[in-house]
Structure 1
Amino acid sequence: MPAHTPSSTSSLSPYFHFDSTMKSDFKLSNLVGTVYRKGNVIFTADGTGLLTPVGNRVTYFDLINSKSFTFTYQHRKNIARIALNKQGTLLLSVDDDGRAILVNFVSRVVLHHFNFKGVVHDLQFSSDGHYFAVGVDRYVQIWKTPEFLEERQFAPFVRHRNYAGHYDDVVSVTWSNDSRFVISTSKDMTARIYSVHTEDKDASMTLTGHRDYVVRAFFDITQNIIYTLSKDGALFHWEYVTKEPESESESEDEKMDEDSDSDSDSAAPIKKAVAEPQSQWAIAEKHYLHLESVRVACATFHAASNLLVLGLTTGEFRLYELPSFNVLQQLTMGQNAVDTVAVNNSGEWLAFGSAHLGQLVVYEWQSESYILKQQGHFDSINALCYSPDGSRAVTASDDGKIKVWDLHSGFCLFTFSEHTAAVTAIEFAKKGQVLFSASQDGTVRAWDLIRFRNFRTFTAPHRVQFSCMAVDPSGEVVVAGTHDEFEIYVWSVQTGALLDSLAGHEGPISCLQFGHENSVLVSSSWDKTIRVWNIFSRSQQVEPIEVEHDVLAIAVRPDSQEVAVSTLNGNIVFYDVEDAKQTHNLDIRKDVFSGRHLDDRFELKNNARAKSFTTISYSFDGLSLIAGGNNNSICLYDIADEVLLKRFVVSENMTLEGTLTMLNSSKITDAGISIDAIDTQGEHVDLEKRIDTSLPGSTRGDPSARSVRPQVRVTSVRFSPTSSAFAAATTEGLLVYSTDTEVIFDPFDLDLDVTPQGVLESITEKNWVVALVMAFRLNEQNLLDRVVENVPLKDVKLVCTDLPSVYVNRLLEYLGEKVNRAQGSQHIEFNLTWVKATLESHGRYITLHKYECQPAIRMIQRFLARVAKDIVSVSKKSGYLSEYLLNAKNETANEDQEEAFEGFSGSDDDNEDDMEEDVDEDDEGEWEGGQPKGMSDRFTPDSDVEED
């Protein structure tokens, strides 16, 4: 390998030297492309946020501000249940094995790990937040919510009660409104009421009568009515009735009354016990859905509005009004079962999740409109690309769909479904308004991202399956290659005509990529060569660059001076494009983590599978390289030093192949295979879930029915054009890693006495930052004005630097409103000093949160545009006036000097004294304070004019 010389990096264009030290502190910021897998979805306490499990992670959707983020922690397996306490501070998630993780929802910090040692079917926090109930196997457990005790010790997961009344698995648990009782439903076709406290233990009883699984049970708002719903669509209405004691003869009653008068007071309790009526739950009404071959999959109840929401196995959901059981609405969200349903506290929004297709819907039933309607890819993601401004990402999948994602919100903006086969490659044109895609259906399509339509389709002379594609930076030419033939097809975007076919490779074309700075096309083939083409030249004769092994991926440096090649033997080789010489070589076999599969008969150290990268990408500055492949690793390399900067683990989900370091020997059967690879559920799973509805012989198109476990892999990696993030298309979805993922912490959210008096005291003590933050918290205009105007001009920059980032947008909004007020022009320079200091101190934060700060920035821009003309005109007039005054002063000085020389007589000392007297008289009479006295009086009309 050639020795590294400093000239190899100095050949980079100066345009790419803006960030010589590439940051490696990337952290997971969001999971895009997958919105729901399995489990339950829940609303936050304010009803504006939605939490959904996505594999072994949890994603939060802000439905008001159109934002989303994914928690960084991971479970060992897919999440089965999640719960959030009513105060919105603690999030509890449990996976399929019963392992729980307790998270601080505000700061997103993991507090505790725990194992319930069983399969958790339901999990609910009480209304007062002191307890949470868990349905584990056939038991109902009540645990105390973790809190700080008087000894200031954190005591997590203290079990309060354990009930074992059911004979089969518990399906659901529901709390009463006063947090005193829990009602559970089970597969044994019963519902049971349990008391949390010992003094209420007499209220415990069993509700029977259903002929199928009891899906859910609910208390109404008064807690005098219970509704139980079974899987066959039967709804029982239970009421708490009082039965009078059996009446005796009238003579005996009279005799008892007479005896009671003569008895002592000790007989009174006996009489009361005899006369006390008996109370119990009884069925008042029965309602049936009358469903044929349709079952109830999930249900929820909003007690305040008596709204019952049902999700059926046919994809239909219904809304009923109780207790009359009138149908309010009846809609469908597809042909697959609705697996979970949730309602927010106001009862306006309903959330539905379907695991079969990964659908997530938030529906406002009163206006019959969708608040959120998202669906991930049906199959694995093949390719991804960033838009030129880095705000959007586009993914392509085996399902033939192309999805455009907004990285700020995490939502899918549009879906293109014109392709009839798997989409293998996607690329943006330079301006970002046109997207190109190649598919195995034999077409290359051009998409208009302004009108969201397919405006051009390119095809070959005969039917082939395109496997790779590249687009010229100017957007005038698109090229594509196939595995069927050894030629590269070139089309004109303007006319759609086939311009040329580049021949020269002796094997199927594997990769194509254009350089960013020029129209250099680099191609690789299975013939172990790469070729550099200049498609706009007259001659297409190129010399191949020989590579030792098969090429899996190529990447061209942004300045088009270097190309990186990933080979099958586990190396990444770098070549100079002009000299065709090798400049760097990375041996990545020890950097890749490829875990064991369940059917592996060898140890991990002897595993040679996937010890190479199938996708690589340069950073925007060309100094770093990101790489991924059919393994559990994403590696970031420094090219100049040929070192690994950081390795990211794609997933810790043990349900995926290739994530385990060692297999659990206790799960190995006598046949030598793992028990996890055997279906041990059998008849314990519902019949409709065991029926395979896929077409005979199909191996793709029904992820829930496939018999093989998915393998963790990375199909595509791309750096963002801003160099502050990169994305990876993986088995788990589209993982977005960013350098700005820290949670903004506001220290003033702690216990602090925020009052107007406190603001004034802080101003007196010159604690400007504290006073400003407290004024923002109080949100009073007069206090804000007082604080801002009291800050000394020399301390403005220091105050803006120390201001927490969470208040930057608030400060910009205040400054924007202040400068646009009628009196705002009185302190133009002072206000603009604040604006300048804020932009200098928090410019990076404003850039990363431009969607939030954009309205305030526009207000400031509007003010500057309005005042700029006036300032320019005033400055011109002042310039002309100052020039006139300076010329007048010079002429007067010259005339006085001439007169002095003309009247020169007598001794030199006398003449010098006369000149000094003349100059002193001129200075005292004409100039005061560095300007003409008359002009000073003219421009200060409010001042008194003093006469000599």
Structure 2
Amino acid sequence: MISLISQTIVHKYRFKGKCRSIKFSPDGKHFAVCKENNVFIFKAPGPLSGNYNSFIMERVFHGAYDETTCLDWSFDSKILAVGSKDMATKLYPFEKCKNFRIYSLGNHTDGIVGCFFEKESYDLITISRNGQTCIWECTIDSNELQPLKDPNPIKKKKTTNEDDEDDIDVTKSLEKTQAEAEAAFKNMHIKDLESNQKDASNKLFYKRIARHYLGDEARKDDREAVLTSAAYHKALKILVTGFSSGAFFIYETPDMNLVHSLSISDQKITSLALNSTGDWIAVGCSGIGQLLVWEWQSETHVMKQQGHSNAMSCVAYSGDGQLLATGGLDGKVKLWNVASGFCFVTFNEHSSAISDIVFSGNKKFVVSCSLDGTVRAYDVIRYRNFKTFTSPRPVQFACVSIDSSAEFVASGAQDVFEIFLWSVKTGKLLEILSGHEGPVSSLAFSPNLTSTAMVSVSWDKTLKIWDAIEKGSAHETIELLADGQFVVFHPNGKEVAVATLDGHITVFDIKTAAQMVSIEGRNDLGSGRSETDLITAKKTLEAKSFTTLCYSADGEYLLAGGQSKNICIYNVKEALIVKKFEITQNRSLDGVDDFINRRKLTEFGNLALIEEREEREGGPVAINLPGVRNGDLSSRAIKPEVRVLSLQFSPTGQQWAAATTEGLLIYSLNSGLVFDPWDLQIGITPMAIKQAIREEDYLNALTMAIKINEAVLIQEAIETIPLKDIELIVSTIQEKFVERLLLIIASSLDSSRHLEFYLYWVEHVLNIHGSKISGQKNMPSLLALEKSLVRKYEQISHLCNYNKYTLEFVANLGRIRNEKRLKQEKMEVDSKDDESDFDELLNDDGDDDDVDLSKL
């Protein structure tokens, strides 16, 4: 249960199994969940149900004989239809009724995929996996359902007194004659039959009125196609079906007339949804991570998004923090918009897995290296691969970096132990740096514009410092205690942090080669036991280490992740862990739990360690070969190991991204949800701020608002300051408030409509304090401000372009109409002139003989 206001998880409920479907009731008071062969009904917290406790289970239905797959509520929330793999659809009354218990609908020959109630009716549509669709008609309406505890029960018989009188009449007749007794008994039997017939007419029955086979259309192209998903719009009576062949069809019920069909991919469609108006269809394919929104009436794409078909391996932020580049094991490079979360371009020039990716400092291109032996540069503006760097002999590149001037690209190989240096402008190989005696695992250029230093680490337990641009292969070597895994520069370019195989993070000074800080982080990684591990999770922890590092924008903190589900953030100076982030609790991944489930432990040992072979040799084997990390993809079911593959801090300092087994995760600061004051004192209160605003003491009001650090109060204090006083207040504000003021203005630019007003603030802050805030410490606030300004510029430029071309169209349309009007007026004038000339000739005062007939 997630709160959309605070964007936090309020409560969790573990079903200890896979949930196939979940749906709220139309009245909003309950929600139902399908799990195994059961249906659980919970009270929905909120004002509709009057209950705010979490996950109170109200009822459980166990009617299905196999796994339940789909469910639907009736319009009045009184009946729940549940389809299952046992080829039947069960109808459950939410409240106990006299004339309705549990009803089962059959006639299908395969598992049920979808069941849908009609609008304002109990009529039902059921669809099975082989495309068979049945339309059912209900015999009663909603007002004919009789609850078990009805205050006004329907009288099925006359009265109890009348029945007693009948009994008395029978006894009297027995006293009189046998014939009269038989007649009375016959009359009473007739009355019981009539009452039973009346009861039967009020009971719920379903009648199948039509049967259709929707799989025939899909099987014309693929004979093995099966129906995998379905959606129904009750108001428009539109049914959408998706098949395993990647095609979906739109039908008009109840006659099942085919309206539209489209094939979007070769993968099966796993999910379908219709919007409230029925114009847009959302199609999801989990196999390739694709989401498509299709407008079927105009046959156009509204949105098309597709993630990496395989795991992500690397991630990189652009210089302003607006774009995010990811590389995957599928050989694709994707660019994402951080604000919208959408991928807007995909490059697929690589033919093998991408091992590393990095943005240039000028934010104009992105460079990726791959195991196919190429390093490619992509233009972010024109969306093309404009440079391809290769080595004299085929190698597998493991890491890549760009210098601060964006003129040189370096990449390290994992099979020849060398580093290659190219020129971006010419694309030529400038230098081959040799010196490592093991695979080069990571390298990085200095972010300092005045420095051309480069560092690299290798499995040979060395950290090497190069100045390849000026000195070639000359380098300085620092011995490490274990194999080097990753190296990253401090934002000031004076320090480097190295992660080694023994779980340590060591910080070195570049100039003196002295060790400054050492962090032992192995115990912070957290344990996790794989299913095939022969040793405990505590013992496995001794072999784990950090494989990726990243400094925060100000250089005070260090992010670290690796062969674990945890991401740790350390304070570099204190060498202490600040916080630990758990990226997932998904138990379908391997290495999440610390202990093996006892259900998998038998008298022969762990079931995962038992090889599954056929009678013939060469059958399937469940155990991976030693050293295999990605799993055997040819097996029927694989459990990928949970890992953090890459980490990157945003240059704005407001968020960071992680490429993990679960996908791309972005963690962001949300100051509006947490009370985080700064330099707070006793007299600083919201009432004091409003009092200072009323007294026009704007500087004091703004200072107190910044100290309380509440977005609403700060925005109120800023927007009440007159335009003529902005320059004075900015010049008199203390220097320690300037960085925080820039962050506040940057966040306000995104949400406020007073654009010109905040631009005045930006202008005066940069003009007055520009020389003081140009250092590395204030760089995150400047980048956040640049990001907000660029985003506003893009929004306004789109609006201006739209207005510009609209005005041009209107102007051209007016010009064309004006030309047509002038042309028409000219034609009318010419016709009038001709008529007047003719009249003058006819009405001439001279002699008729002198009239020139040629002029007529």
Same fold (TM over 0.5): yes
Matched-pair contact (CA < 8 Å) for 2:249–2:261: yes
How far apart are 1:603 and its partner, in Å? 2.4
Aligned to 2:830: none
CA positional deviation for 1:530: 2.5
Q: Distance in 2 between matches of 1:719 and 1:344?
A: 37
Aligned CA distance change for structure 1 residues 427 and 598 (closer, same or farther; 3 Å)? same
Give the corresponding residue for 1:231.
129
Cα deviation for residue 421 of structure 1 reads 0.9
Change over 3 Å in CA distance of 1:843–1:273 after alignment to 2: farther
CA distance in 2, matches of 1:457, 1:841: 43
Aligned to 1:562: 495
Matches within 5 A, 1:316-715: 316-517=247-448, 518-538=451-471, 540-674=473-607, 707-715=637-645
Deviation at 1:735, TM superposition (A): 2.2
- Deviation, 1:519, is 0.9
Q: Which residue number corresponds to residue 655 of structure 2?
A: 725
> Where do 1:777-796 residues align within 5 Å?
793-794=696-697
Secondary structure, counterpart of 1:536 in structure 2 = helix
Structure-2 change in CA distance of 1:118 and 1:561 (3 Å): closer
Residue 7 of structure 1 corresponds to which residue in structure 2? none
CA gap of 1:334–1:741, structure 2 versus 1, over 3 A, is farther
State the distance in 1 between where 2:43 and 2:71 align.
16
Q: CA deviation at 1:843?
A: 5.2
Report the Cα offset of residue 597 of structure 1.
1.4
Indicate whether 1:214 and 2:112 are aligned.
yes
**Distance in 1 (alpha carbons) for counterparts of 2:54 and 2:572:** 47
SS at match of 2:569: strand
For 2:139 and 2:309, locate their aligned partners in 1 and report how far apart those are by CA, in whole Å: 52
Partner SS state of residue 23, structure 2:
strand
Distance 1:803 1:739 in 2: 14
Given the two structures, how large is their TM-score scaled by the length of structure 2? 0.71
Amino acid at match of 1:601: L
CA distance in 1, matches of 2:700, 2:498: 49
Alignment partner, residue 753 of structure 1: none
CA positional deviation for 1:176: 0.8
Give the aligned residue type for 1:721.
Answer: P
CA distance in 2 between partners of 1:572 and 1:372 (Å): 43
Q: Which segment is superposed worse, 394-403 or 117-126? A: 117-126
Q: Does the 8 Å contact 2:74/2:122 carry over to 1?
A: no
Which of 194, 205, 209 matches 1:284? 209
Amino acid at match of 1:426: I
Task: Quote the offset at 1:324 in angstroms.
Answer: 2.6
1:716 — aligned with what? 646
Amino acid at match of 1:654: R
SS in 2 for 1:607: helix
Give 1:699 shift: 10
Aligned equivalent of 1:82:
none
Partner deviation per Cα, 1:536-577 (whole Å, 9 max, x = no partner): 325643332233332111122223222222222232223222
Partners in 1 of 2:57 and 2:385 — Cα distance?
60
Whether the aligned pair in 1 keeps the contact of 2:444 and 2:454 (CA below 8 Å) is: yes
The answer on whether the counterparts of 2:500 and 2:545 sit within 8 Å (CA) in structure 1 is yes
Which residues of structure 2 form unaligned runs of 5+? 142-161, 167-187, 613-619, 623-627, 676-685, 764-856
Check the 8 A contact 2:399/2:411 in 1, yes or no: yes
User: Per-residue displacement from partner, 1:370-414 (whole Å, max 9, x unpaired)?
Assistant: 333222222222222111112222111111111112222222222
- Tell me the distance in 2 between the aligned counterparts of 1:212 and 1:597: 37
Deviations 1:870-925 (A, max 9, x none): xxxxxxxxxxxxxxxxxxxxxxxxxxxxxxxxxxxxxxxxxxxxxxxxxxxxxxxx
Distance 2:459 2:363 in 1: 32
Shift of 1:229: 1.1
The 1:269–1:660 alpha-carbon spacing in structure 2 relative to 1, beyond 3 Å, is: same
Contact 2:28–2:48 under 8 Å retained in 1 = no
Q: Report the CA distance shift for 1:806/1:734 in structure 2 as closer, same or farther (over 3 A).
A: farther
Q: Compute the displacement of 1:840 (Å).
A: 10
Q: For residues 46-195 of structure 1, what are the structure 2 equivalents within 5 Å?
A: 102-115=1-14, 120-146=19-45, 154-195=52-93
Q: What is the CA–CA distance in structure 2 between the aligned matches of 1:324 and 1:142, rounded to whole Å? A: 34
User: In the TM superposition, what is the alpha-carbon distance from 1:224 to its structure 2 partner?
Assistant: 5.1
Q: 2:836 maps to which residue?
A: none
Change (3 A) 1:661 1:863: closer
Tell whether the 8 Å contact from 1:148 to 1:155 is kept in structure 2 after alignment: no
Gaps in structure 1 of 5+ consecutive residues: 1-101, 244-262, 680-689, 693-697, 746-765, 772-787, 820-826, 866-948
Identify the structure with bigger relative contact order (alpha carbons < 8 Å, sequence gap 6+). 1
Contact 2:632 2:638 in 1 (8 A): no
Asked if the contact 2:333/2:346 (under 8 Å) is kept, the reply is yes
8 A contact 2:689–2:701 mirrored in 1: no
Q: Which amino acid aligns with 1:356?
A: G
8 Å contact from structure 1 (residues 340, 354) kept in 2: yes
> 1:811/1:399 Cα in 2 relative to 1: closer, same or farther (>3 Å)?
farther
C-alpha contact 1:338 1:352 (8 A) present in aligned 2: yes
AA partner of residue 30 (structure 2): Y
Q: How does the TM-score come out when normalised to structure 1?
A: 0.64
Question: Displacement, 1:200?
Answer: 5.9
Distance 1:464 1:742, change over 3 A: same
Distance in structure 2 (CA, Å) of the matches to 1:134 and 1:361: 26
Q: Residue 664 of structure 1 aligns to which amino acid in structure 2?
A: N
Residue 593 of structure 1 and its aligned partner are, at CA, apart by 1.5
1:232 deviates by 1.1
Which letter maps to 2:5? V
Question: What amino acid maps onto 1:176 in structure 2?
Answer: S
Q: Deviations over 1:282-324 (max 9, x none)?
A: 1222221224422111111110111111111111111111123
Give, in whole Å, the separation in 2 of the partners of 1:833 and 1:372.
49
What is aligned with 1:740? 670
* C-alpha distance in 1 between matches for 2:287 and 2:12: 30
Deviations 1:814-859 (CA, angstroms, capped at 9, x unpaired): 99xxx9xxxxxxx854899999999999753552465444x53247
Contact 1:570 1:613 (C-alpha < 8 Å) held by counterparts: yes
Q: Secondary structure at the match of 1:590?
A: helix
On the 8 A contact 2:356/2:398 being kept in 1, the answer is yes
Give the drift of 1:179.
1.2
Deviations 1:64-109 (A, max 9, x none): xxxxxxxxxxxxxxxxxxxxxxxxxxxxxxxxxxxxxx34443345
The superposition leaves residues 593-646 of structure 1 with CA deviations (integer Å, 9 ceiling, x where unpaired) of: 231111222223322554322222223333332222222332222222222223
SS of the residue 2:523 aligns to: coil
Cα drift, residue 586 of structure 1 = 2.4
Residues 752-791 of structure 1 mapped to structure 2, 5 A cutoff: none
* Contact preservation (8 Å) 1:610, 1:630: no
How far residue 714 of structure 1 moved from its aligned partner, in angstroms, is 1.5
Distance change in 2, residues 1:239/1:115 (3 Å): same
Shift of 1:731: 1.2
Is the 8 Å Cα contact of residues 391 and 407 (structure 1) preserved in structure 2? Answer: yes
* Preserved CA contact (<8 Å) 2:553 2:651: yes
| Separation (CA, whole Å) in 1 of partners of 2:561 and 2:93 | 54
Deviations 1:97-129 (A, max 9, x none): xxxxx3444334544444557654332221111
Q: Answer whether contact 1:797 1:834 (CA < 8 A) is retained.
A: no
CA contact (8 A) 1:104 1:110 kept: yes
The letter of the residue matching 2:245 is: T
Q: 1:744 to 1:614 in 2, by over 3 A?
A: closer
Alignment of 1:867-882 (within 5 A): none
1:455 CA displacement: 0.7
Q: Secondary structure at the match of 2:754?
A: helix
- Matched-pair contact (CA < 8 Å) for 1:567–1:612: yes
| Deviation (angstroms), 1:448 | 0.6
Matched residue of 1:480: which SS? strand
- Shift in Å, 1:673: 0.9
